[in-house]
Structure 1
Amino acid sequence: MTSPFKRSILDQQATDGCASVLAPALSTLVDLALVLKQAHWNVVGKHFHPIHEQLDEIVDTVQEASDSIAERLVQLGVSPDGRAATVAGDSKLAVFPEGFQGGEATIQLTSDAVKCAIDVLRFAIAALGDLDPIGEDLCIGISADLEKHLWMLQAQEC
């Protein structure tokens, strides 16, 4: 798709390179928000309430992050695609199991999902370094936020 903007921030090759890593990051983050809500709705057991609340906090972070990635794509003249079919096809996350999950399983599954999203972002960080320092910085900040959430999730597995 051709950009609707008269001026480009980056040349076409750099824009294409950025889009090739930011688009999968966007899909993965949109999927992560959905996975975390699925976990939030279906967690049961002894530690239900704190896990339920913690997952909502992470969802807020992830939704803000996906919006920032989508807006960066737009700034580069690339149309972000957050449609369900695209997200399902491009997300790097494993499919979250259906049904109720106990607290321990929820922590393990959501920790794995957050770690996968961090891996996608770290790949993007490495790829964006020479192409787009602004996009790189954006991904660094998002990764830092998710790494803090991962620490707080994993601490419950000890």
Structure 2
Amino acid sequence: MTSRSNPQYTVPGITVQDAGTVIELLQQRLHALNDLHLTLKHVHWNVVGPHFIAVHEMLDPQVDRVRDMADDVAERVAALGGVAHGTPGALVKERSWEDYSVGRADAIAHLGALDVVYTGVIQALRAAIKTTGDIDPATEDLLIEQLRDLEQFQWFVRAHLETAGGSLATAGVATETEAAQKASVR
């Protein structure tokens, strides 16, 4: 059995070396998506307050779509000749971010923290799209489709954090905890 990223073969028109680059990039996307869907469920289970039902029900379709995204990424890794590492241990060992830091909290606090989470996922995805664009247009297309959905989900989150005047409660924050606190104050 093999667990390495560099494939022995790949799809026509892409070198094995370039496929290895794309597989490594997709592996990080897979970890990010698996982490995101678990984080969204965590929020779904731990959200409280007057906006509970709106947020609770908003998150399940996001969870479902993010899980589908992870499946698409893992299948692309396999198509390129790689091995998709989807175990919790691999995710924790290979990720470059910390666990979601907010427990049971008000809906607006969780949404503030999720805004920061989505920003990180989207920024990394945009970098991945830039890299894959020169190597593999099929992977680039897959990632662009996911970007559209993730940006829409962040818009749903931000709609709860935006004032009628257009300012965002989480503007300028760097951490989930800071975003949760700042969002809750409004």
Range of TM-score over shorter length: over 0.9
* Residue type of the alignment partner of 2:45: W
1:29 lines up with 2:33 in the alignment: yes
2:145 paired residue number: 141
* Residue type of the alignment partner of 1:22: L
CA distance in 1, matches of 2:54, 2:44: 10
Gaps of 5+ in 1: none
Match of 1:79 among 83, 89, 106: 83
Cα RMSD, aligned residues only: 1.7
C-alpha deviation, 1:97, in angstroms: 2.4
- Larger RCO, structures 1/2 (Cα 8 Å, 6+ apart): 1
Quick one: percent identity of the two aligned structures?
32
1:131-153 alpha-carbon deviations (Å, 9 max, x no partner): 11000000000011000110111
* Residue type of the alignment partner of 2:114: T
Q: Is the 8 A contact 1:45 1:102 kept in 2?
A: yes
CA distance in 2, matches of 1:48, 1:69: 32
C-alpha deviation, 1:90, in angstroms: 2.8
1:91-149 alpha-carbon deviations (Å, 9 max, x no partner): 34442125311111110111211221111211110000111100000000001100011
Alpha carbons of structure 1 residues 52 and 93: separation in structure 2 relative to 1, 3 Å: farther
Gaps of 5+ in 2: 163-186
CA distance in 1, matches of 2:61, 2:40: 10
Larger radius of gyration: 2
Q: Is the 8 A contact 1:93 1:117 kept in 2?
A: no
CA distance in 1, matches of 2:159, 2:126: 22
* Residue type of the alignment partner of 1:59: V
